[in-house]
Amino acid sequence: MEAREKEEVRNAVRDRYGKIAQANQVNTEMDAAACECCGPVQIESQPGKAAQDAACCEPVQIESQPGKAVQDAACCEPVQIESRPGEAAQDEACCGPSVISEERLEKLSKYMGYSKEDLESVPEGANMSLGCGNPVAMASLQSGETVVDLGSGGGFDCFLASKEVGDTGKVIGVDMTTDMISLARRNVEKMVTSNVEFRLGEIEHLPVADNTADIIMSNCVINLSPDKGQVYQDAFRVLKPGGRLAISDVLATAELPEEVRRNLALVSACVGGAATIDHTEALLLELGFVDVKITPNDQSREMIRAWDPSRSENAGDYVVSAYIEAIKPA
């Protein structure tokens, strides 16, 4: 992939997930106001700007990015968020604890392997159901371990991991999107925890020292990278000898058609950038990992089909979610 194409992919991913974080923040602010529908609520669209008064069931103006036209949306109605110019807008719910309904959030999370206790133990807004599995469950975390989460989003998996590693352990979340990092740091304040921190950075070049982590986990993020070899190479650097990968990601069961790979909407929807299972296994072995194990989940196809923004490329025919495990030799 050319350098220009890689940057286009990074910009598409950063743009999409930045807007998801912004929409999530608007929703949690509304929920925190605890207003009855049609009561006044103040919403600050951007730090440093004056807050806006709005009735919960009347139109609210939300500015998604500086310099772009504001959007009118009813707080108790779906909000349309356009992820990139020229692409189909996405409907998101404005008046819930997240950008999707609580019922759907719980259903998707349980499908991915999370318990009701998991969902109730984290701050509102941390779980945005952006994953494709539960890497915390597969990681077999121990008290005192150090965990690095690649693409940590609102911090959901980090907060679950922090409970497993305890006060003597540490969890470091890394995300390339400033809005996600801001959201996650606000969630840390809600958790009142001292063993979780979030750092801004790219997963290809982690802002973490060599030989730091006992575990590197990630949930449906590595497929978004245009340079997966560099991601795994830097993960190898950051892991301690004997450290292990616990990754949930989307992988291709066959080579993706060119029209899927070049569709930035599908790439940023965790489909178009999926590497094949065989390529991923070979890459990990080449980089020096041992005990590589990849376990596909064929039942994930239906969930993945829903990620195709245009519903036209039959995404579920090509990709599945899978657990990826490997160890850095001691």
- pLDDT tens for each residue of 11-59: 888 888 888 888 877 665 655 544 444 444 444 444 554 444 444 334 4
**Range among 80-94, 120-134, 246-260 with highest mean pLDDT value:** 246-260
The rounded mean pLDDT for the chain is 78
98 closest CA partner among 89, 111, 88, 108:
108
The number of angstroms, rounded, from the C-alpha of 322 to the middle of its chain's C-alpha atoms is 16
Q: How far is 265 from 277, CA to CA, in rounded Å? A: 22
Q: How far is 9 from 225, CA to CA, in rounded Å? A: 8
What pLDDT was estimated at residue 294?
98
**Range among 78-87, 109-118, 151-160, 303-312 with highest mean pLDDT value:** 151-160
What pLDDT was estimated at residue 308?
62
Residue 10 has pLDDT above 60, yes or no: yes
What pLDDT was estimated at residue 221?
96
**Domains by residue range for the chain, with CATH:** 3-93 (no CATH), 125-327 (3.40.50.150)
Residue 100: pLDDT band (50, 70, 90) is low
Q: How far is CA 172 from CA 147, 166, 169, 224, 263, in A?
A: 6, 13, 10, 20, 32
pLDDT per residue as tens digits for the range 144-203: 999 999 999 999 999 999 999 999 999 999 999 999 999 999 999 988 789 999 999 999
- Output the pTM of the full model: 0.75
Residue 102: pLDDT band (50, 70, 90) is low
What pLDDT was estimated at residue 27?
63
More confident residue, 149 or 130: 149
Helix pair angle (178-191, 156-165), 10° resolution? 40
User: Range with the lowest mean pLDDT among 29-33, 92-96, 231-235?
Assistant: 92-96
The number of angstroms, rounded, from the C-alpha of 46 to the middle of its chain's C-alpha atoms is 22
Residue 318 has pLDDT above 90, yes or no: no
pLDDT per residue as tens digits for the range 275-310: 999 999 999 999 999 999 999 987 777 777 766 656
What pLDDT was estimated at residue 303?
73
Residue 136 has pLDDT above 80, yes or no: yes
Percent of the chain with pLDDT over 90: 45
Structure tokens given for 291: 């005990």
More confident residue, 196 or 73: 196
What pLDDT was estimated at residue 309?
58
Percent of the chain with pLDDT over 70: 69
Q: How far is CA 197 from CA 169, 186, 237, 240, 263, in A?
A: 12, 11, 20, 19, 34
Instruction: Centre a 10 Å sphere on the Cβ of residue 227 and count the other Cβ atoms it contains.
Output: 17
